[in-house]
Homo-oligomer: A and B are copies of this chain.
Amino acid sequence: MNIKEKISERTVEVEAIITGYLPEESGYQKTVIEAMNYSFLAGGKRLRPMLMQETYRLFGGCGRIVEPFMAAIEMIHTYSLIHDDLPALDNDDYRRGRKTTHVVYGEAMGILAGDGLLNLAYETVLNALEQEQENPRAAEALRILARGAGIYGMLGGQVADVEAEGETIDQDKLDFIYDRKTGALIESSMLIGAVLAGADDSQKDMIARAAVDVGLAFQIQDDILDVAGDQAVIGKPVGSDEKNQKTTYVTLRGLEAASEDVERLSKRAIDVLRQLPVQNDFLIELLKYLIRREK
């Protein structure tokens, strides 16, 4: 089986886990639940929960405590996409070839569906932990989840990104945006996996460093695909960054330097992972594939 097939297989497995946490579409709040589930079920590789579970396995984790966290990180990712797509933000009508949430359910319901998913992420983990007697690893994982999603994490990056539109920004600000907007949830995913499996402090540091490089490489690759990719494969119009007058890694550094940076960051991340006393070959293959995904 090649890596693409292996990832597809794992996507199916991850999806089976995380969709088990979706709420039933009933009651007077039915519409918002439908909108939440519609967005959550829009597909994708389920990269974040997959990275979380693979990092958990890397450190020998074999329980189910990671599962509600997998659902939660995907809910947070989904909420951020719904709100990013709103008319007041990126104003996107399509994502992954499907109509975006606010196009189908209206803008008010789009806002509330995003809110609902963000809150449901916490509810999901907290309800699952009720069964666990006090578990300090789970408490630490929950703090990482919250920090990664908020103003010092993903949301901070979204804000800087919104403000940067139509402006020329420098490398420092672009790094901030990339590190937060895309990087924060990838870092949280891998770190939560490590923490739940009982990784020690130095191992957690290594995972965090590798994850930061992975997140950055992933986002730079996204910029590269935006100028050099194929709409049918990447699922959104090529050249949308240029249309939106966005400063990207490619506009700042050029296509060639950007590609070299992806290579360098990717190599550094994998070198760090290779230094760990434990190994998960699929995790490394997965990271390589994700970073260097083709046009």
Chain A 16-45 interface 0/1 with B at a Cβ cutoff of 8 Å (1 = within):
000000010001110111001000000000
Contact at A173–B116, with CB atoms within 8 Å? no
Is A155 in the interface zone, CB < 8 Å from B? yes
Contacts of A114 in B (CB 8 A): 115
Docked complex: A109-123 residues within 8 A CB-CB of B: 109-112, 114-116, 118-120, 122-123
Partner pick for A150 among B110, B123, B149, B180, CB 8 A cutoff: B123
Tell me the number of copies of this protein: 2
Contacts of A129 in B (CB 8 A): 139
Chain A 83-115 interface 0/1 with B at a Cβ cutoff of 8 Å (1 = within):
100101100000000000000001111111011
Contact at A112–B155, with CB atoms within 8 Å? yes
Contact at A31–B163, with CB atoms within 8 Å? yes
* Chain B CB within 10 Å, residue with most, of A86, A118, A130: A118
Partner pick for A31 among B122, B130, B159, CB 8 A cutoff: B159
Query: Measured between C-beta atoms, what is the minimum distance from A233 to chain B in Å?
Result: 29
Contacts of A143 in B (CB 8 A): 123, 126-127, 130
Query: Measured between C-beta atoms, what is the minimum distance from A245 to chain B in Å?
Result: 16
Is A5 in the interface zone, CB < 8 Å from B? no
State A29–B134 Cα separation when bound (angstroms): 34
Q: Is the interface of A mostly helix, strand, loop or mixed?
A: helix
State A22–B191 Cα separation when bound (angstroms): 26
Contacts of A160 in B (CB 8 A): 28-29
Contact at A151–B23, with CB atoms within 8 Å? yes
Query: Measured between C-beta atoms, what is the minimum distance from A30 to chain B in Å?
Result: 9
State A176–B26 Cα separation when bound (angstroms): 13
Contacts of A173 in B (CB 8 A): 28
Is A147 in the interface zone, CB < 8 Å from B? yes
Contacts of A32 in B (CB 8 A): 151, 155-156, 159
